[in-house]
Amino acid sequence: MSKVIEGLLYAESHEWVKIEGDIATIGISDYAQHALGNIVYVDMPEVGDEVTAGEDFGAVESVKAASDLISPVSGEVVEINEELEDAPEAINADAFANWIIKVKISDPSEAENLLDAAAYAKLCENE
Protein backbone atom coordinates (compact mmCIF):
# COMPACT_ATOMS: atom_id res chain seq x y z
CA MET A 1 0.00 0.00 0.00
CA SER A 2 1.54 3.28 -1.03
CA LYS A 3 1.45 6.43 1.05
CA VAL A 4 -0.90 9.35 0.31
CA ILE A 5 -0.57 12.59 2.30
CA GLU A 6 -3.54 14.67 3.34
CA GLY A 7 -3.53 18.33 2.41
CA LEU A 8 -1.74 17.90 -0.95
CA LEU A 9 -3.38 17.93 -4.36
CA TYR A 10 -2.77 15.15 -6.89
CA ALA A 11 -2.84 14.73 -10.66
CA GLU A 12 -4.09 11.57 -12.34
CA SER A 13 -0.60 11.22 -13.82
CA HIS A 14 0.70 10.76 -10.24
CA GLU A 15 2.30 14.13 -9.48
CA TRP A 16 1.58 15.84 -6.15
CA VAL A 17 1.29 19.61 -5.69
CA LYS A 18 1.56 21.73 -2.59
CA ILE A 19 0.23 25.24 -3.10
CA GLU A 20 1.48 28.05 -0.84
CA GLY A 21 0.42 31.49 -2.04
CA ASP A 22 1.26 31.63 -5.75
CA ILE A 23 4.01 29.00 -5.52
CA ALA A 24 3.30 25.36 -6.38
CA THR A 25 5.79 22.73 -5.21
CA ILE A 26 5.61 19.64 -7.42
CA GLY A 27 6.85 16.08 -6.97
CA ILE A 28 5.80 12.54 -7.81
CA SER A 29 3.70 10.38 -5.53
CA ASP A 30 4.82 7.42 -3.48
CA TYR A 31 2.70 5.26 -5.78
CA ALA A 32 4.64 6.55 -8.81
CA GLN A 33 8.11 6.03 -7.30
CA HIS A 34 7.11 2.51 -6.33
CA ALA A 35 5.84 1.71 -9.81
CA LEU A 36 9.07 2.98 -11.41
CA GLY A 37 11.49 1.17 -9.12
CA ASN A 38 15.05 2.39 -8.52
CA ILE A 39 15.18 5.92 -9.93
CA VAL A 40 18.46 6.68 -11.67
CA TYR A 41 17.83 10.05 -13.30
CA VAL A 42 15.49 13.02 -13.13
CA ASP A 43 15.30 15.21 -16.20
CA MET A 44 14.36 18.69 -14.97
CA PRO A 45 13.63 21.98 -16.74
CA GLU A 46 15.71 25.10 -16.15
CA VAL A 47 14.76 27.93 -13.85
CA GLY A 48 12.88 30.49 -15.93
CA ASP A 49 11.27 27.91 -18.24
CA GLU A 50 7.51 28.10 -18.70
CA VAL A 51 5.46 24.98 -17.92
CA THR A 52 1.88 24.33 -19.00
CA ALA A 53 -0.76 22.34 -17.15
CA GLY A 54 -1.19 18.92 -18.79
CA GLU A 55 2.14 19.10 -20.66
CA ASP A 56 5.39 17.41 -19.77
CA PHE A 57 8.19 19.35 -18.08
CA GLY A 58 10.71 16.54 -17.69
CA ALA A 59 10.99 12.83 -17.00
CA VAL A 60 11.92 10.34 -14.30
CA GLU A 61 13.95 7.31 -15.31
CA SER A 62 14.62 4.00 -13.64
CA VAL A 63 16.80 1.25 -15.10
CA LYS A 64 14.13 -0.14 -17.40
CA ALA A 65 11.30 2.39 -17.31
CA ALA A 66 10.77 6.07 -17.90
CA SER A 67 7.86 8.30 -17.09
CA ASP A 68 7.14 11.81 -18.26
CA LEU A 69 6.54 14.44 -15.61
CA ILE A 70 3.26 16.20 -16.40
CA SER A 71 2.80 19.63 -14.92
CA PRO A 72 -0.39 19.93 -12.86
CA VAL A 73 -0.32 23.74 -13.15
CA SER A 74 0.92 26.42 -15.56
CA GLY A 75 3.53 29.01 -14.74
CA GLU A 76 7.23 29.81 -14.54
CA VAL A 77 9.79 27.49 -12.95
CA VAL A 78 11.33 29.41 -10.05
CA GLU A 79 13.41 26.65 -8.49
CA ILE A 80 14.51 23.11 -9.21
CA ASN A 81 15.66 20.54 -6.66
CA GLU A 82 19.35 20.36 -7.59
CA GLU A 83 20.00 17.65 -5.02
CA LEU A 84 18.22 15.22 -7.32
CA GLU A 85 20.95 15.67 -9.94
CA ASP A 86 23.38 13.69 -7.78
CA ALA A 87 20.91 11.69 -5.69
CA PRO A 88 17.80 10.84 -7.72
CA GLU A 89 17.26 7.84 -5.43
CA ALA A 90 16.08 10.29 -2.75
CA ILE A 91 12.66 10.11 -4.41
CA ASN A 92 12.53 6.39 -3.69
CA ALA A 93 13.40 7.05 -0.05
CA ASP A 94 10.68 9.70 0.39
CA ALA A 95 8.71 10.90 -2.60
CA PHE A 96 6.90 13.63 -0.67
CA ALA A 97 9.94 15.13 1.05
CA ASN A 98 11.89 15.29 -2.20
CA TRP A 99 10.11 17.73 -4.46
CA ILE A 100 11.22 18.25 -8.06
CA ILE A 101 10.31 21.81 -9.12
CA LYS A 102 8.64 24.94 -7.79
CA VAL A 103 6.42 26.93 -10.12
CA LYS A 104 5.00 30.45 -9.86
CA ILE A 105 1.37 29.80 -10.77
CA SER A 106 -0.14 31.83 -13.60
CA ASP A 107 -3.70 30.50 -13.37
CA PRO A 108 -4.84 29.48 -9.86
CA SER A 109 -8.11 28.07 -11.19
CA GLU A 110 -6.23 25.11 -12.69
CA ALA A 111 -5.81 23.66 -9.21
CA GLU A 112 -9.56 22.99 -9.15
CA ASN A 113 -9.06 20.16 -11.65
CA LEU A 114 -6.76 18.24 -9.29
CA LEU A 115 -7.68 15.42 -6.92
CA ASP A 116 -7.67 15.55 -3.12
CA ALA A 117 -5.97 12.84 -1.08
CA ALA A 118 -9.05 10.65 -0.76
CA ALA A 119 -9.86 10.74 -4.45
CA TYR A 120 -6.23 10.05 -5.35
CA ALA A 121 -5.99 7.11 -2.94
CA LYS A 122 -9.02 5.65 -4.63
CA LEU A 123 -7.45 6.14 -8.07
CA CYS A 124 -4.31 4.26 -6.99
CA GLU A 125 -6.38 1.43 -5.59
CA ASN A 126 -8.09 0.95 -8.93
CA GLU A 127 -4.89 0.90 -11.02
Partner 1 sequence: MSNRFIPHTEEDIRVMLDRIGVQSVDDLYNDIPAEVIFKEDYDIPSAMSEMELRRHFSELGAKNRTLKVFAGGGVYDHYSPSVISHLLSRSEFYTAYTPYQPEISQGTLQYIFEYQSMISELTGMESTNASMYDGATAAAEVMFMMVASVRKKNRVLLSATLPENVLEVVRTYAGFHGVDLTLVPEKEGVTDLEAMKVELRAGDVAGVLLPCPNRYGIVEDFTGFADAVHEVKGMMAVYADPSALAVLRTPAEWGADVACGDGQTLGMPMQFGGPYLGFISCKSHMLRKMPGRVVGATTDASGKRCYVLTLQAREQHIRREKATSNICSNQSLMALYATIYLSLMGRKGLVEVNRLSADGAHYLHDKLVASGKFTPAFDKPFLKEFTLKTGLDVKAMNARLLEKGFMGPLDLGNGMVEFAVTENRTREEIDEFVNIILEA
Partner 2 sequence: MKYYDKLIFELSRPGRRGYELPAGNYGTDALASLPGNLLREEAPELPEVSELDVVRHYTNLSNKNFGVDTGFYPLGSCTMKYNPKINEEVAAMPEFSALHPLQGEDTAQGALELYYNLQRALSNIAGLAEFTLNPYAGAHGELTGLMVMRQYHILRGDTKRTKVIVPDSAHGTNPASAMVAGLEVVEVKSKPNGSIDVEDLKPLLDDTVAGIMMTNPNTLGMFETEIVEIAKLVHDAGGLLYYDGANLNPMLGKVRPGDMGFDIMHINLHKTFSTPHGGGGPGSGPVGVAAHLVELLPAPRVVKDAEGRFHIEGKNDKSLGSVSSFLGNFGVMMKAYAYILSLGKENLKNVGPMATLNANYIKESLKDDYLLPIEGACKHEFVFDGLRDKSTGVTTLNVAKRLLDYGFHAPTIYFPLLFHESMMIEPTETESLETLDEFIEVMHKVAKEARENPDMVKNAPLTTPISHPDETTAAKKPILSYRQLKAEQ
Q: Which is nearer to partner 2, 41 or 96 (CB)?
A: 41
Does 97 bind partner 1 (CB under 8 A)? Our answer is: no
SS3 124: helix
Instruction: Kindly state the number of chain residues that form the binding site for partner 1, as judged by CB under 8 A.
Output: 14
Of 7 and 64, nearer to partner 2 (C-beta) is 64
Give me the residues that bind partner 2 (CB under 8 A), please. Answer: 38, 40-41, 61-64, 88-89
Residue 110 and residue 32: Cα distance in Å, rounded?
22
The entry of partner 1, partner 2, none that residue 49 binds, CB within 5 to 8 Å by partner kind: partner 1
The backbone torsions φ and ψ at residue 67, rounded to the nearest 5 degrees and listed phi first, read -140, 130
Q: Which of residues 46-65 bind partner 1 (CB under 8 A)?
A: 46, 49, 59, 61-65
